[in-house]
Amino acid sequence: MDPDRIRTSLERARAGLRTELEELTAAPRDPTATVSFGKRVGEGTSQAVERIAQVDAARQLDAKRRDVERALEKLDEGTYGTCDACGRPIAPERLEAIPWAVRCVGCARTPA
């Protein structure tokens, strides 16, 4: 486990997540456009459904960003690789697959 390599990977992930979040949460290009709903599925309904999907994606990306930032904090604290919930080691295979993992597999299965 190379802390410098992990830090670089996490910092890249954080930068990418920030960029994605900025794009997803940016104001509409045409602020005067309105979304209208009628009895039929149309352009307005499609736009609303797309926006709901964007909001959900932004929430998921923000949760991942928080985990990435927590993993960076754990590197600084010297606790990287230790589960935030139970205090046991996180499996190296899990950290290899998900470097921002802050909970072991068992604790990750349980809602926070």
Q: pLDDT digits over 1-49, tens only?
A: 788 999 999 999 999 999 999 988 887 676 565 555 555 656 667 777 7
Q: DSSP string of 35-103? A: ----SS--HHHHHHHHHHHHHHHHHHHHHHHHHHHHHHHHHHHT-TTB-TTT-SBPPHHHHHH-TT--S
For residue 15, the surrounding DSSP H or E stretch is helix 3-25
Do the Cβ atoms of 10 and 66 come closer than 8 Å? no
pTM here is 0.76
Mean pLDDT of 48-53: 79
What is the CATH architecture of 3-24+43-109? Up-down Bundle (1.20)
